[in-house]
Amino acid sequence: MSPAPVRRKLHTPPVPASPFPYHPGSLLSVNDLSLDELNHVLARATALEKQDPLTRDRILAKRRVALLFYEASTRTRTSFELAAKALGADTALVSNLSSSIEKGESLKDTGLNLRALGAEAIILRSNSSGAAWLLEESTRLPVLNAGDGMHEHPTQALLDLRTILAHLRGGTTKVNEKTLAGVTVTITGDILHSRVARSNALLLPRLGAEVVLCGPKELLPEVAASEGPDSRGGVTIERDFEAALKRSQVVMMLRIQAERLAGLQLDLEEYKAGYQLTGERLARLAPKAIVMHPGPIIRGLEITSGVADGPQSAILEQVTHGLAIRMAVIERALNATALKSAPTSVRTSSARPAKPASRKGARA
Ligand code: CP
């Protein structure tokens, strides 16, 4: 008689825990923020904006923040620097054009040297997608992603959200899954290369908004429709700009990123005919919509001067919201540092939920 088959207990393989972010103060992706944390950032942005500058600059007095910029920036760099200084922190700017990065020093070594100089947080702008994750892994400092290649720009999405809330929801700082229900945000232009589009597509549908991505196929591949936060959708593609405008409460225009267009055949005159936001189009199709743009704007290409400077434009308001948001995320980064007792070389992810699957649910 043959022996009875051994019944093996089936085990579902464990879901690998993402180690990122290592540091609870980091902001690598908009997905790093739970709904509670998002509300905290929005509330602190408003509180810090209102606070007397003479008391506000004691909050992070003499704390050290490094700004590491491998790519040109006007708005993000200046607002992060002003935000850190408004809280009393000392800042040091390291740019690829005036540092040993020019001599070939790696991102890891640059980060470790900044840490050795006492930096308690690093704000990173890089032209390499994923660089913020690498820097965080190398330094174990809180890293604030100020734009990584074609990947993410989380603080831009947060300041965009604050701008939308100011216009459409009375400036509330309390958001939930339904706060933006009924709001259609059309993002038009160079979606393919846009970290701004990705971060907004990940964030806004979590609050109930419908994100419509619009552009020609050269700049907007079909796969972009899967960029939303989860399988429930919230992100669609519309090639017809005028059809998209008609249903929009928010129109976000993007720059054609000439520096990233290598190999793409794009007829700019054809592009303007199909996708330029003109005063005539806006008046006819979206006379009540707010017009947004992360900057830099290229007047006469994706947007006309009349629209950029017109009454529906919230473009400069976005920049101002950036200052408040960046104060809040810098404070979050350095407070998390202060609360932790573990050495910086030790993984501290226990302060955050470890499994991406459960985190996704928590953020939905
Ligand atoms: N929106 C934005 O990131 O602009 P800068 O490149 O000037 O920082």
Q: Which atom of ligand 1 is nearest to the CA of 146?
A: 3
Confidence of residue 14 (pLDDT cuts 50, 70, 90): low
Is the predicted pLDDT of residue 184 greater than 80, yes or no? yes
Q: Are strands 250-253 and 290-292 parallel, antiparallel or unpaired?
A: parallel
Dist. CA 166–CA 162, nearest whole Å:
6
| Cα 74 to middle of ligand 1, angstroms | 6
Confidence of residue 267 (pLDDT cuts 50, 70, 90): confident
| Cα 125 to middle of ligand 1, angstroms | 10
Is the predicted pLDDT of residue 347 greater than 70, yes or no? no
Among the listed residues 248, 332, 345, the one whose alpha carbon sits nearest the alpha carbon of residue 38: 332
Residue nearest to atom 1 of ligand 1 (CA): 294
Is the predicted pLDDT of residue 64 greater than 50, yes or no? yes
**pLDDT score recorded for residue 345:** 42
Q: Establish whether the linkage from the previous residue to 353 is cis, with ω within 30° of 0.
A: no
Residue 356: CB atoms within 10 Å: 14
Integer angstrom CA distances of residue 214 from 68, 218, 276, 298: 32, 11, 11, 18
The string of pLDDT tens digits covering residues 309-327 is: 999 999 999 999 999 999 9
From 74, 159, 200, 321, the mutation candidate for ligand 1 (largest count of ligand atoms within 8 A of CB) is: 74
Is the predicted pLDDT of residue 204 greater than 50, yes or no? yes
Confidence of residue 4 (pLDDT cuts 50, 70, 90): low
Is the predicted pLDDT of residue 341 greater than 50, yes or no? no
Residue 62: CB atoms within 10 Å: 9
Is the predicted pLDDT of residue 343 greater than 70, yes or no? no
Confidence of residue 225 (pLDDT cuts 50, 70, 90): confident
Q: Which atom of ligand 1 is nearest to the CA of 71?
A: 6
Can you read off the two tokens belonging to residue 49? Answer: 């904006």
Query: If you average pLDDT over residues 237-261, what whole number do you get?
Result: 92
The string of pLDDT tens digits covering residues 67-104 is: 999 999 999 999 999 999 999 999 999 998 888 888 88
Query: If you average pLDDT over residues 260-282, what whole number do you get?
Result: 88
Q: Establish whether the linkage from the previous residue to 296 is cis, with ω within 30° of 0.
A: yes
**pLDDT score recorded for residue 18:** 78
Q: Does the predicted model carry a pTM greater than 0.85?
A: yes
The string of pLDDT tens digits covering residues 123-174 is: 999 999 999 999 999 999 999 999 999 999 999 999 999 999 999 999 999 9
| Cα 243 to middle of ligand 1, angstroms | 29
Residue nearest to atom 3 of ligand 1 (CA): 76
**pLDDT score recorded for residue 265:** 77
Query: If you average pLDDT over residues 180-205, what whole number do you get?
Result: 96
pLDDT, greater one: 264 or 177: 177
Is the predicted pLDDT of residue 55 greater than 50, yes or no? yes
Q: Which atom of ligand 1 is nearest to the CA of 153?
A: 3
Is 137 in a helix, a strand, or coil? helix
Is the predicted pLDDT of residue 337 greater than 70, yes or no? no
**pLDDT score recorded for residue 356:** 31
Q: Which residue has the tokens 């408004």?
A: 86
Can you read off the two tokens belonging to residue 14? Answer: 């464990």
Give the list of residues 6+ apart from residue 12 with CB closer than 8 angstroms, or none.
none
Dist. CA 239–CA 270, nearest whole Å:
14
| Cα 296 to middle of ligand 1, angstroms | 6
**pLDDT score recorded for residue 109:** 96
CB burial readout 2-39, b (16+ within 10 A) else e: eeeeeeeeeeeeeeeeeebbbbbbbbbbbbbbebeebb
Can you read off the two tokens belonging to residue 32? Answer: 């790093």
Is the predicted pLDDT of residue 359 greater than 80, yes or no? no
| Cα 353 to middle of ligand 1, angstroms | 31
Residue nearest to atom 4 of ligand 1 (CA): 75
Q: Torsion angle of alpha carbons 131, 135, 138, 144, nearest 10°?
A: -140
Among the listed residues 157, 155, 161, 183, the one whose alpha carbon sits nearest the alpha carbon of residue 174: 161
Residue nearest to atom 6 of ligand 1 (CA): 73
**pLDDT score recorded for residue 13:** 57
Residue 88 near residue 334 (C-beta atoms within 8 A)? no
Q: Return the minimum-mean-pLDDT range out of 71-75, 204-208, 257-261, 298-302.
A: 257-261
Percent of the chain with pLDDT over 90: 76
Is the predicted pLDDT of residue 180 greater than 70, yes or no? yes
Query: If you average pLDDT over residues 5-19, what whole number do you get?
Result: 60
Torsion sign, CA atoms 123, 85, 75, 248: positive
Which runs of consecutive H residues, i.e. helices, occur in the chain?
Answer: 35-50, 53-56, 75-86, 107-116, 131-139, 154-168, 195-203, 241-246, 268-275, 279-285, 305-308, 315-339, 356-363
> Using alpha carbons only, what angle is made at residue 221 by residues 218 and 222, rounded to the nearest 5 degrees?
140
| Cα 200 to middle of ligand 1, angstroms | 15
> Rounded to an integer, what is the distance from CA 184 to the centroid of its chain?
19
Is the predicted pLDDT of residue 8 greater than 60, yes or no? no
Residues near ligand 1 (Cβ within 6 A): 73-77, 147, 156, 294-296
| Cα 319 to middle of ligand 1, angstroms | 9
| Cα 168 to middle of ligand 1, angstroms | 24
Q: Which atom of ligand 1 is nearest to the CA of 72?
A: 6
Domains of the chain: residue spans and CATH: 30-153+321-342 (3.40.50.1370), 155-318 (3.40.50.1370)
Give the list of residues 6+ apart from residue 114 with CB closer than 8 angstroms, or none.
66, 68, 92, 94, 122, 139
Q: Which atom of ligand 1 is nearest to the CA of 125?
A: 8
pLDDT, greater one: 11 or 182: 182
Torsion sign, CA atoms 225, 229, 231, 234: negative
Among the listed residues 319, 257, 299, the one whose alpha carbon sits nearest the alpha carbon of residue 78: 319
| Cα 171 to middle of ligand 1, angstroms | 23
From 68, 71, 73, the mutation candidate for ligand 1 (largest count of ligand atoms within 8 A of CB) is: 73
Confidence of residue 203 (pLDDT cuts 50, 70, 90): very high
Farthest-apart Cα atoms in the chain, separation: 90
Q: Please, what is the average pLDDT of the chain?
A: 89
Residue nearest to atom 5 of ligand 1 (CA): 73
| Cα 76 to middle of ligand 1, angstroms | 5
**pLDDT score recorded for residue 261:** 67
